[in-house]
Chain A
């Protein structure tokens, strides 16, 4: 009797356990978003809402979690700043990738996934505990340019925001103010004629002639072939101006707490994140005045030249030309204050400046017709004519693609 009495509760308990075990999955399934009851009462599996597959071998600054303050990952300066530049060239700089702690806090799982974690390849050339060699860092640029093996993510996700107007003001003179309180006189315009004057300017504080002719006897960047047809374009020295690329010209004023804002610790003060898919302010164009192929045919491999050249609308314009140089930068770049390095349109030079502000350097109607008038006239009369004074590829465009600015400059000049 005793034995039977004990068996019954055990059986009831076992039955309860079996019931619970069988019933539990269905209750979880109802709660799960992956399942929902169908009209027929059966349960139907929803299409799986999988998280997008993340490529951990690519680092993207645009990822929301990566948009914390820059110095939360980047050490400023990095310990290697005395090694990447030597002697008098050395200055405290950001010249290396962030260290492991800045990644591992969030990516511990990825760090220990498999024998060769993909995440390691962002910074390291090979994934091995015995080899901690890193890819070259993009700063200093000169070192990065020379590196043969570059990281997969080479190419900046940022664009530089440099406010020319603010820097103009900082450099501005102030004439001593009088201490007297005699007040200020307002005046109105009166009429009189004045002569125009030749101008020079001081943009060269930041922009110098790249590969200047100097005392060199060779006028071309690459020696001109002997069999080049007469009048054919070949790239001359002095065509381009430099643009500051490193931190050397920034940190001497913007360094940490001792400097001016944006401080060197606030990378985003100058480096603006580009939208996904964009590689720079210069919109890639199907048709450019000079292309990489033409540059290569000339034997030009200098990346500074190529990058600047591809942006040009007038590929042949030579800053170092003996008649251009004395004019000064502001003879053509007439509104530096309005330059916004984030807006390509503001960087353009008005074609009317080629007319020497009305004096007629390159824009003047007959009888002593100047080159723009001549080429536009020829082009509009003969579709096969190639404008070659300023252009390489653009000189071949159909008549209807001649820019309005050119037509206006010429048509008005006829008046």
Chain B
């Protein structure tokens, strides 16, 4: 009886261990992003006039199913995934622009993941940062010396911030990288998602495009590249086709 019990116990432990390893592996693996067409495009008997334009609606969700806010998406004429010179993994990364930053600043920046120091989440945290982060403290003290006004020193803190590379260099480099990639893909226009993760491409010609965020984002290097053929305009609608860009629930953590 005992050996059988031991075998059962060890097998159970082994199975649990395997499950745990698989779970960890699944969690670490990048969930593949998908583009879901929300409604099949309508079929119309009448062909659209040659100069007809329509709109595309996108709704973007992260791995947790929540809206991905303030993310820029591009409408391109060409499929960049077939362009060997386009290497999304070479896009600038935030961590590469933290040279000279104190450990406190690095920790503080991680609280609010933004492209530059100017994003609203950071601004709300300046008051706390001047007490705990040396770079912010220096900027604040310099501001006090210049303006003799604590409120002004705080609201203009980025002006006196000692590390320009931390302030905006990442944003500048990333913007330049994106612009170059967008040109390669034949940029038509770009939009930014709102608080609900929604954005519209409007007045687009009825042809095939590619919707992409160009630089990987979110954990797992999320990069969407949705091929879309714009159907004729739909009555009473700003758009004739609508996508949800998301990460499948099964694959998401």
Does B165 reach chain A (CB closer than 8 Å)?
no
Residue of B nearest to A259 (CB): B159
Interfacial residues of chain A within 181-218, with CB under 8 A of chain B in the complex: 181-194, 197-202, 205
Find chain B residues with CB under 8 A from A374 CB.
none
In the complex the two chains form, is A173's CB within 8 Å of B194's CB?
no
Residue of A nearest to B73 (CB): A337
Taking A182-B30, A335-B200 as contacts, is the C-beta distance between A88 and B152 under 8 angstroms?
yes
| Stretch of B4-12, B100-108, B213-221 with 4 or more beta carbons under 8 angstroms from chain A | B213-221
Interfacial residues of chain A within 221-270, with CB under 8 A of chain B in the complex: 251-253, 255-256, 258-260
Number of residues from B at the complex interface, CB < 8 A: 80
Find chain B residues with CB under 8 A from A189 CB.
34-37, 226-228, 243
Does B89 reach chain A (CB closer than 8 Å)?
yes
Does A178 reach chain B (CB closer than 8 Å)?
yes
Does B195 reach chain A (CB closer than 8 Å)?
yes
Find chain B residues with CB under 8 A from A183 CB.
89, 221
Q: Which of B36, B110, B219, B234 has the most CB of A within 10 A?
A: B36
Residue of B nearest to A358 (CB): B237
In the complex the two chains form, is B93's CB within 8 Å of A177's CB?
yes
Find chain A residues with CB under 8 A from B173 CB.
none
Complex: A296 Cα to B57 Cα, angstroms = 42
Residue of B nearest to A329 (CB): B194
In the complex the two chains form, is B39's CB within 8 Å of A193's CB?
yes
In the complex the two chains form, is A334's CB within 8 Å of B159's CB?
no
In the complex the two chains form, is A171's CB within 8 Å of B119's CB?
yes
Does A21 reach chain B (CB closer than 8 Å)?
no
Complex: A330 Cα to B194 Cα, angstroms = 7
| Stretch of A107-115, A147-155, A347-355 with 4 or more beta carbons under 8 angstroms from chain B | A347-355
Does A295 reach chain B (CB closer than 8 Å)?
no
In the complex the two chains form, is B237's CB within 8 Å of A202's CB?
no
Interfacial residues of chain A within 374-397, with CB under 8 A of chain B in the complex: none
In the complex the two chains form, is B196's CB within 8 Å of A199's CB?
yes
Over the window 150-185 of chain A, the binary record of Cβ atoms lying under 8 Å from chain B Cβ atoms (1 yes, 0 no) is 000000000000000100111111111111111111
In the complex the two chains form, is B159's CB within 8 Å of A258's CB?
yes
A191 CB, min distance to chain B CBs, angstroms:
5
Find chain A residues with CB under 8 A from B151 CB.
88
Find chain B residues with CB under 8 A from A280 CB.
none
Does A402 reach chain B (CB closer than 8 Å)?
no
In the complex the two chains form, is A173's CB within 8 Å of B156's CB?
no
Find chain B residues with CB under 8 A from A197 CB.
59, 67, 196, 198
B197 CB, min distance to chain A CBs, angstroms:
9
In the complex the two chains form, is B89's CB within 8 Å of A334's CB?
no
Find chain B residues with CB under 8 A from A117 CB.
none
Find chain B residues with CB under 8 A from A98 CB.
none
Interfacial residues of chain B within 18-63, with CB under 8 A of chain A in the complex: 29-30, 32-40, 57, 59, 62
Find chain A residues with CB under 8 A from B170 CB.
174
Taking A173-B71, A178-B30, A190-B37 as contacts, is the C-beta distance between A334 and B238 under 8 angstroms?
yes
Taking A188-B35, A252-B158 as contacts, is the C-beta distance between A172 and B72 under 8 angstroms?
yes
Of the residues A176, A191, A200, A358, contact of B40 by C-beta under 8 Å: A191
Does A219 reach chain B (CB closer than 8 Å)?
no
In the complex the two chains form, is A357's CB within 8 Å of B238's CB?
yes
Of the residues A184, A188, A193, A350, contact of B223 by C-beta under 8 Å: A184
In the complex the two chains form, is B30's CB within 8 Å of A185's CB?
yes
In the complex the two chains form, is A192's CB within 8 Å of B93's CB?
no
In the complex the two chains form, is A337's CB within 8 Å of B191's CB?
yes
Of the residues A187, A258, A330, contact of B34 by C-beta under 8 Å: A187
Find chain B residues with CB under 8 A from A169 CB.
72, 115, 171, 175, 192
Does B186 reach chain A (CB closer than 8 Å)?
no
In the complex the two chains form, is A173's CB within 8 Å of B113's CB?
yes
In the complex the two chains form, is A92's CB within 8 Å of B147's CB?
yes
In the complex the two chains form, is A90's CB within 8 Å of B152's CB?
yes
Taking A175-B218, A350-B202 as contacts, is the C-beta distance between A337 and B192 under 8 angstroms?
yes
Find chain B residues with CB under 8 A from A252 CB.
155-156, 158-159
In the complex the two chains form, is A186's CB within 8 Å of B72's CB?
no
In the complex the two chains form, is A181's CB within 8 Å of B89's CB?
yes
In the complex the two chains form, is A175's CB within 8 Å of B113's CB?
yes
Complex: A254 Cα to B221 Cα, angstroms = 33
In the complex the two chains form, is A182's CB within 8 Å of B221's CB?
yes
In the complex the two chains form, is B236's CB within 8 Å of A88's CB?
no
Complex: A44 Cα to B62 Cα, angstroms = 86
Q: Can you list the 7 inter-chain pairs with the closest CB atoms, starting with the nearest?
A: A412-B235, A199-B196, A330-B194, A258-B159, A189-B35, A186-B81, A358-B237
Extra A-B contacts (18), CB below 8 Å, given A177-B216, A186-B223, A259-B159: A169-B171, A172-B71, A174-B114, A178-B221, A184-B89, A187-B35, A190-B35, A192-B36, A193-B39, A194-B38, A197-B198, A201-B195, A334-B200, A336-B192, A352-B236, A358-B236, A364-B236, A413-B235
Q: List 16 A-B contacts (CB under 8 A).
A: A88-B149, A165-B192, A169-B171, A170-B168, A171-B119, A172-B70, A178-B30, A189-B34, A191-B37, A194-B242, A197-B59, A200-B196, A259-B159, A337-B191, A357-B238, A358-B237
Residues of B within 8 A of A (CB): 29-30, 32-40, 57, 59, 62, 67, 69-72, 81, 88-89, 91, 93-95, 110, 113-116, 118-121, 147, 149, 151-152, 155-156, 158-161, 168, 170-171, 174-175, 189-192, 194-196, 198, 200, 202, 216-221, 223-228, 234-238, 242-244
Residues of A within 8 A of B (CB): 88, 90-92, 165, 168-194, 197-202, 205, 251-253, 255-256, 258-260, 328, 330, 334-338, 350, 352-353, 355, 357-358, 360, 363-364, 409, 412-413, 415
